[in-house]
Amino acid sequence: MRVKLVVFSVLLYVSMLVSGQSLLHMRSDLCAPLAIPLSISGNYGDVRASSFHFGIDYTTNGQQGFPVFSIDSGYVSRIKVEAGGYGKALYISHPYGITSVYAHLDSFSCEIASFVREKQYATQSFAQDILLDSNLFRIKKGDLIGYSGNSGQSTGPHLHFELRKTENQNTIQPFIFAFHQADTIPPVIEKVLLYPMFQYLSKEPLPALNIALNNFSAVTYSSNNCRTREYVTSDTVWLTPSPFFMGIAAYDFLENNGRQVSFYTSRVWSDSTLVYEIVMDELSFNEVGWVNGIIDYQRKRLQKENIYLQYQYPGFSLTPVKRSVKNGLIHLSDTLVHWITVEVTDFTGNNTIFKFRVKRSAESKKNVVAAQDQGNIIPAGKLHKIHRPGVDVIFSPNSLYASSEIGVRKLRRGSLYTGYYLEVGDEAVPLKGPVTLEFSLMNIPHRYWQKLRVVRLNGKTTESIGGEIEGHVIRAKTKLLGAFSLAVDTIPPSIEFLNVKENSRVSKFIQVRVRDNLAGIKSWAGYIDGQWVLFEYDRKNDELRYTFDDKCIPTGRLRRLELRVEDHCGNTRTKTLNFIY
Q: How confident is the model at residue 374 (pLDDT cuts 50, 70, 90)?
A: very low
Average pLDDT value over all residues in the chain: 88
**Quick one: pLDDT at residue 196?**
87
Kindly state whether residues 268 and 315 are assigned to the same domain.
yes
Kindly state whether residues 60 and 208 are assigned to the same domain.
no
- The CATH number that applies at residue 528 is 2.60.40.1220
Structural domain boundaries enclosing 411: 373-488
Kindly state whether residues 254 and 334 are assigned to the same domain.
yes
Q: Is 2 within the bounds of a domain? A: no
Q: Is 5 within the bounds of a domain? A: no
Q: How far apart are CA 14 and CA 245, in angstroms?
A: 33
**Quick one: pLDDT at residue 42?**
94
Query: In the chain, how many domains are there?
Result: 4
Given a cut of 70, is residue 375 above it in pLDDT?
Answer: no
Residues 6+ away with beta carbon under 8 Å from 505: 579, 580, 581
Element (H, E) at 128: strand 128-131
Q: Is 183 within the bounds of a domain? A: no
Kindly state whether residues 75 and 159 are assigned to the same domain.
yes
Phi, psi (rounded to 5 degrees) for 285: -70, -15
Given a cut of 70, is residue 28 above it in pLDDT?
Answer: no
CB 266 within 8 A of CB 47: no
From the list 95, 91, 94, 117, the residue with the least C-alpha distance to 105 is 91
- The structure's pTM equals 0.90
Q: Across residues 277-305, what is the average pLDDT?
A: 90
CB 545 within 8 A of CB 514: no
Given a cut of 50, is residue 551 above it in pLDDT?
Answer: yes
Share of the chain above pLDDT 90, in %: 69
Kindly state whether residues 224 and 270 are assigned to the same domain.
yes
Given a cut of 90, is residue 384 above it in pLDDT?
Answer: yes
Kindly state whether residues 126 and 208 are assigned to the same domain.
no
Kindly state whether residues 81 and 160 are assigned to the same domain.
yes
Q: Across residues 42-60, what is the average pLDDT?
A: 93
Kindly state whether residues 140 and 271 are assigned to the same domain.
no
Kindly state whether residues 198 and 327 are assigned to the same domain.
yes
Phi, psi (rounded to 5 degrees) for 79: -130, 130
Q: How confident is the model at residue 202 (pLDDT cuts 50, 70, 90)?
A: low
**Quick one: pLDDT at residue 32?**
95
End-to-end CA distance of the chain: 41
Beta-bridged to residue 159, according to DSSP, are 58
Kindly state whether residues 94 and 132 are assigned to the same domain.
yes
Q: Across residues 41-60, what is the average pLDDT?
A: 93
Tens of pLDDT, residues 507-526 = 899 999 999 999 999 999 99
CB 244 within 8 A of CB 192: no
Share of the chain above pLDDT 70, in %: 89
**Quick one: pLDDT at residue 413?**
66
